[in-house]
Structures are given as C-alpha cells and as structure tokens.
Copies of this chain bind each other. A is one copy, B any other.
C-alpha cells in the first residue's frame, strides 16, 4: 500500500528469527518461547509491521473479509438498511473482519454472482431484502458460508437472525387498543416477505386475542417505502380508522406526514405505530415504534458466520424487539 512496505521477512531478519517463528509469534500460534514472542511483537510494533492480507489469504485460505449484500436502493432510501449495515460493520470489525459492501444496484444476476465469487470474502451476510436470493442459494450450495439478516423466504434453507415480528406486532396492536383505538388498520409490507407476513399475522392475532372481528379491508398492502405510507392515507381516511400499525418506520412516517398534511390530528384522531426504531423515528412527532436490536443482530450474524467457518452449523435466531412509545400513539383515554 505504501512505497516499500515492511514484510514478515523484514521483521524476522531484525529479530534474528525465521519468518515461520515470526508468523507464529504475531498470530499467537503455539510453539514460540514467550520471550521470543514478546520481542517479535514489540519489534513489529516499533517498525510498523502490518501483515499483507492478500498474502495471508493466499497462504491460509482465510481472507478475514465478510461480504455484506444489500439492495442498493435500500441503503439510499431506508434508514433500516443503513443501521443494519452499520451494525454488521462494527461487529465484523470487532471480530477482526473487514467488510466488503455489495450493493445490488439492479445489476444483472450473473454479475452479482460473479461479483460475490470474485470478492474473495470468507462468507456472506445477506439482507432478506436482497433480490439475489436464488444466486445466494447457489453460492451457499457451492460451499460459501451464508447468514441472512432478516427472515428469508421459506424456500431459502439458510441460517438467519431476525428480530421478533409476530409477538412485537401483537404488542403494537394491543398498545393501540389500550389507547382506546377501536378500528385499527394494518399497513403491511409485501406479504411474500416472511418478516412482513409475521407482522401482519401478529396484527390478526391481537384481534383474535381481544375477541375483535377482523375486517380484511383494514389491511392495506404497502412496499416499505415512505411513498406507500403517504399513498395509503386516503384509503385509511375512507376506512375511518382510528389507529394504524405500519410494518416499518418509513411507511409509518409517511402516514403521519400525510395525515398531518391533511389536518388530521395524530394521535388524537388517528394513532400510528411503526417498526424498526431507526433514528428517523426520533424527531417530532416521535414515532411509537418497535425497536429492532440492530447491534445484537449484527453481532449474532457475524458470530454465526464465524461458527460456520469453524465447521459448525448454527441454528437461526429470533431476537427480542421492544415497543418504544413515542408521540404518535399516546392519547387521552376515552
């Protein structure tokens, strides 16, 4: 990377040992006298020795790189993607891995496939929102370690880590009931997405538990975009609802903005709950939302990937998500 970088050989020469010993000392491998190890490390530090990752990769087969696959537009438009990538990046760094960002950017599938193969990463952490599912499965079948973040479609048989959606959605819906809402609508994500489906199911279950009838017309299907939230407003007003459970914050914010724009009081006339808990939820009116444990998800995903690299077969994990009450749902009791 610089003019003439210091190599392991340089380090070994200065220390008067073989590069084999220097390598073992640096990497904490057994079979080096403690005082030698100490000296090598000190010298390495002082002459600024930095191992060449590619050489390590070539020699050991491990690149210490994790590929992260997300839909490109997601990063640009959905704070969820940014938060998730941030969390994965931190967790990876903490575990000694670099993060290779793969944005799909609507590239033809073959290119995505080639890109992922070429990347030379030890494994992939893939967003359940990524479009390359079938290519990912092919890579996994070819031996590439893969962990999903978010729940992938049922036909994808790969480990994943996601936040609780079903019970969190029950909780969110019940919260609106508790606030006195009687006619609650559900603004869902695409229902072929398992996480979106779970949130919808939770909405239904909450009604069942409360002994309330469910009117199918109260289910509005969106696509996780703010625009979908805005677009749903008209329908919601026509339905005469007094509460809305949205499948993510972006749609929830769209609904709130659209309602306020029309002079409808939130939460006075219509209460709104979102899902994600990204920073965008934090400014006025603060969204009531279900906060995903981003950092925990990132850490578990990285840990699971490392487990796979170590030959284990980790199971999927569903992490708890917390309802955080903000301004958009709390109203005076009737």
- Which A residues have a C-beta under 8 Å from some C-beta of B? 1-3, 50-55, 57-58, 63, 65, 68, 72, 75-77, 79, 81-83, 85-87, 89-90, 93, 98-101, 103, 105, 107, 114-115, 117-122, 142-144, 226-227, 229-230, 253-254, 257-258, 260-261, 278-280, 282-285, 294
> Is A118 a contact of B261 with CB atoms below 8 Å?
no
Shortest Cβ distance from residue A287 to the other chain B in the assembled complex, whole angstroms: 11
> Is B100 a contact of A98 with CB atoms below 8 Å?
yes
Contact status of A89 and B101, CB under 8 A, knowing A54-B58, A144-B1, A226-B279: yes
Which residue on chain B has the smallest CB distance to residue A90? Answer: B105
Which residue on chain B has the smallest CB distance to residue A5? Answer: B117
Which residue on chain B has the smallest CB distance to residue A63? Answer: B54
Choose from B3, B143, B285 the contact partner of A257 (Cβ within 8 Å). B285
- Which residues of B lie under 8 Å from residue A258 when comparing CB positions? 283-284
Choose from B50, B120, B229 the contact partner of A118 (Cβ within 8 Å). B50
- Which residues of B lie under 8 Å from residue A226 when comparing CB positions? 279, 282-283
Q: Which of A79, A103, A105, A283 has the most CB of B within 10 A?
A: A283
Which residue on chain B has the smallest CB distance to residue A106? Answer: B90
| Cα A47 to Cα B204 with chains together (Å) | 50
Which residue on chain B has the smallest CB distance to residue A285? Answer: B261
Choose from B1, B58, B280 the contact partner of A58 (Cβ within 8 Å). B58
Choose from B1, B86, B230, B282 the contact partner of A143 (Cβ within 8 Å). B1
| Cα A147 to Cα B283 with chains together (Å) | 33
- Give 12 A-B pairs besides A53-B118, A81-B82 with Cβ atoms closer than 8 angstroms: A1-B119, A1-B122, A1-B143, A2-B142, A54-B120, A76-B87, A89-B103, A98-B119, A99-B103, A254-B283, A258-B283, A258-B284
| Cα A107 to Cα B93 with chains together (Å) | 10
| Cα A230 to Cα B282 with chains together (Å) | 11
Shortest Cβ distance from residue A299 to the other chain B in the assembled complex, whole angstroms: 13
> Is B284 a contact of A261 with CB atoms below 8 Å?
yes
> Is A72 a contact of B50 with CB atoms below 8 Å?
no
Choose from B57, B79, B101, B107 the contact partner of A99 (Cβ within 8 Å). B101
